[in-house]
Structure 1
Amino acid sequence: MRHAPYELALESKISGARPVYRFYTADGVCSKQSFRNAELLLIESLWGVDLGRLLALEANYGVVGVVLADRSVSVSMVESSARAVQLCERNARENSVDAATALVADVTALGDTFDTVAYAPKPYTPLSVGKQRIVDGLSVLQPDGSLYLAASKQTGLTRYERCLRETAATVEQVAEYDGCALLEATRPRSFERPAYVSPREIRPEIDGVTLSLVTVSGLFSPSKLDDGTRLLLETITVEDGERVLDLCCGYGAIGTYAGRVADCDLWLSDDDAVATSCAECSLRASRVDGTVVTADCAEGIADQTFDRVLCNPPTHAGGGVLSELFSGVHDVLAPDGELEIVHHREVDLRSHLSPFGTVERLRTGDEYIVLRVSN
């Protein structure tokens, strides 16, 4: 991430707290220009609690972890987004906070335990994913440790509370603020983590080539290959010997197809650790060799050069993400290389593609357009 253009200031009147905490944010993270009520509720309610070793689950840009670091023996902030992890690290430095950060698809992979877990589900989190993170949080607690969940009815409070009552030893509402409620749940002495999110395999066929793709809830188009990606794959040609990058790979549909139709040096990259975990599984299931990287935009492959970059870009992520994404592609594309992308017909990418010399429309579908771009 090259720029964090938004700055937020959180003033405090609580005894023992710093007068102001400052946070840098950017396109591509949740609530980039304002603090979320759920996180403010966590901060205010937990300030006077003996937190011990604190885990901030899906920490976004670090508000909960940074503020409560002064009240914890230690604090860890985990995220599935590489961009969010960078912001957590920067905001810890800006506020002179000692905090560990980790980019993980599954928090249980940390191999560590905590006294307290704090979690404020993001508004767009699928309920099954939110429930899985709740029980994952319970599973990394010390026996009798506490998980604090802050949510509103709009973000799934009722179902999350039901999930906790089915899995935790005790559940109690301890605070509320402006439509959000804070639940405290304790881990039972004996705990077997249930599975609310399980990998599934889809097998789309493109021009006679059948792919085995592994997906989970929460990723883009998890139940079937989306129409835009299908149009792109039906349009492109990948040659033997090319160095090929599937950028914003999701669960790896584009890269897996490229590896099936050509003997190429294949790379896949995505910001989301859950997505890249699935992409690795998709390559194995389809018997394709490739290198998978979890990184923001093109940062994970900035030292590489590619003959062909293939991308279904996250046009919903904001202009800042798209500008950095395509600027990074410009830097890693070989002089005679090509970028082939698909986007919705109503999206205008001209300003983001301005660094390139040539933009050519290859195909127009009912809803999507495939472009070929070169330096």
Structure 2
Amino acid sequence: MLSAPSQLLIKNQTLFTQGKWLLVNPEDTDIFTQLDANLDGFYQYFDIYQQAEHLPGQHSFAASLESNQQYDGVIVYMPKAKAQAQMLLANMANMLKTGGSLWLVGENKGGIKAAPKLLAPFSDQIVKQDAARHCSLFRCTINKPVKPFNLKQWQTEFEININDCQLKICSLPGVFNHGALDTGSRLLLESIHTLPNGKLLDFACGAGIVGCYLASKNPAAQILMSDINALALHCARQTAELNNIDASIIASNGLNAISDKFSAIYTNPPFHTGTKTDYQVSEQFIANAKKALTAKGSLTLVANAFLKYPELLQTHLSTVKVLAETSKFKVYHCQL
């Protein structure tokens, strides 16, 4: 089913019939079959990328796009974080032919109203092309100098110190709690006092904080970090490198790309997709977690206290123990 921003593009599809176009972080793949245009796709989210791999055109999954291909137009779906939008637009402006057009589409409640400011560094001719279905579509023709794009220039580093473990963390816009250690993950780490040997999984790893902490506390363990977000995977690799940690880091939609079994899984799972509350990823993860654990494996999970995870954990795993809690968060532990 087409998202509202994709429906707005279809409504204006006569604008995209000429030349070569790139869609950036589309929210669905039906747009590629329903929009009458010569399209490629660039994705920072692995689930949509997997759905698009079989479609005509070139489809790329990465933190940033590096390509010699030059496009007549690039259409960026507005991300949740404005800083991520700035970074994406800076990257995509380099993908355009001379005189090419840069577009931004998104829901009004998702920050699209900031489009004129976001596009201003690239053009002084910004047009609101259309508005419908609680969405807006903006375009501009590049008429200002475009700076070469370097992802490292958007990276920041910060340090954490928990239980006498000091780590350097790499972060990018679009990664969970960019530039800081979130309260939930801190509570999770502070509640981990002993670690099993064997294989350990940091699910939905974000910038790699939990996985690198596990590796630092138990160098003998084999660490796997997974995430759906290419920006997060990039940061996790950089964080591991900054701390001289050897870990495997992979893209996975839930547990779909993970075949190993683990002595323990640690996670601060997501419950948002873009601007929308979405429990499906976490609920599916909990339902499948037992299959990814060894016979006496364990799951340790931190979540907002209001989420109804204890019932799910008891249903799919075992008796739930609360290791730590605050007024906002709880750390749950299940031992098989």
The TM-score with structure 2 as length reference comes to: 0.87
Contact 1:152 1:180 survives alignment (8 Å) = yes
Q: 1:296 to 1:153 in 2, by over 3 A?
A: closer
Matched, 1:265 2:265: no
Matched, 1:71 2:37: yes
Contact 1:343 1:369 survives alignment (8 Å) = yes
Residue ranges of structure 1 left out of the alignment (5+ in a row): 1-7, 9-22, 24-34
Distance, in Å, in 1 between the alignment partners of 2:305 and 2:136 is 41
Q: 1:187 to 1:306 in 2, by over 3 A?
A: same
Q: Which moved more, 1:305-314 or 1:213-222?
A: 213-222
Q: 1:327 to 1:61 in 2, by over 3 A?
A: same
Aligned to 1:207: 163
Q: What is the DSSP-based 3-state SS (H/G/I as helix, E as strand, rest coil) of the residue aligned with 2:257?
A: helix
Q: 1:56 to 1:49 in 2, by over 3 A?
A: closer
Aligned to 2:325: 364
Q: In angstroms, what is the RMSD of aligned CA positions? A: 2.6
1:328 deviates by 3.1
Matched, 1:164 2:119: yes
Matched, 1:344 2:301: no
Matched, 1:83 2:47: yes
Q: What is the DSSP-based 3-state SS (H/G/I as helix, E as strand, rest coil) of the residue aligned with 2:18?
A: coil
Aligned residue identity for 1:220? F
Q: 1:289 to 1:49 in 2, by over 3 A?
A: closer
Distance, in Å, in 1 between the alignment partners of 2:295 and 2:112 is 52
Q: What is the DSSP-based 3-state SS (H/G/I as helix, E as strand, rest coil) of the residue aligned with 1:296?
A: coil
Q: What is the DSSP-based 3-state SS (H/G/I as helix, E as strand, rest coil) of the residue aligned with 2:154?
A: coil
The 5-angstrom pairing of residues 161-240 of structure 1 reads 161-168=116-123, 170-177=125-132, 180-188=135-143, 191-193=146-148, 198-239=154-195
Aligned to 1:323: 283
Aligned residue identity for 1:82? F
Distance, in Å, in 1 between the alignment partners of 2:110 and 2:284 is 30
Q: 1:243 to 1:54 in 2, by over 3 A?
A: same
Distance, in Å, in 2 between the alignment partners of 1:350 and 1:240 is 23
Contact 1:138 1:168 survives alignment (8 Å) = no
Distance, in Å, in 1 between the alignment partners of 2:114 and 2:57 is 31
Distance, in Å, in 2 between the alignment partners of 1:151 and 1:57 is 12
Matched, 1:289 2:246: yes
Distance, in Å, in 2 between the alignment partners of 1:47 and 1:357 is 56
Distance, in Å, in 2 between the alignment partners of 1:363 and 1:175 is 50
Distance, in Å, in 1 between the alignment partners of 2:7 and 2:196 is 54
Q: How many residues of Structure 1 are paired with residues of Structure 2 in the alignment? A: 329
Identity of aligned residues (%): 20
Q: Deviations over 1:197-239 (max 9, x none)?
A: 7211111110111111111222222232122211111111344
Distance, in Å, in 1 between the alignment partners of 2:90 and 2:271 is 32
Distance, in Å, in 2 between the alignment partners of 1:179 and 1:236 is 45
Aligned to 1:304: 260
Matched, 1:60 2:27: yes
Contact 2:122 2:145 survives alignment (8 Å) = no
Aligned to 2:235: 278
Aligned residue identity for 2:46? A
Distance, in Å, in 2 between the alignment partners of 1:178 and 1:365 is 40
Q: 1:257 to 1:173 in 2, by over 3 A?
A: same
Contact 1:132 1:195 survives alignment (8 Å) = no
Contact 1:142 1:187 survives alignment (8 Å) = no
The equivalent position to 1:246 in structure 2, one of 196, 199, 202, is 202
Distance, in Å, in 2 between the alignment partners of 1:370 and 1:330 is 18
Aligned to 2:92: 137
1:294 deviates by 1.2
Q: 1:189 to 1:230 in 2, by over 3 A?
A: closer
1:169 deviates by 7.3
Q: 1:170 to 1:260 in 2, by over 3 A?
A: same
The TM-score with structure 1 as length reference comes to: 0.79
Residue ranges of structure 2 left out of the alignment (5+ in a row): none
Q: What is the DSSP-based 3-state SS (H/G/I as helix, E as strand, rest coil) of the residue aligned with 1:352?
A: helix
Distance, in Å, in 1 between the alignment partners of 2:128 and 2:140 is 9
Distance, in Å, in 2 between the alignment partners of 1:48 and 1:367 is 48
1:269 deviates by 0.5
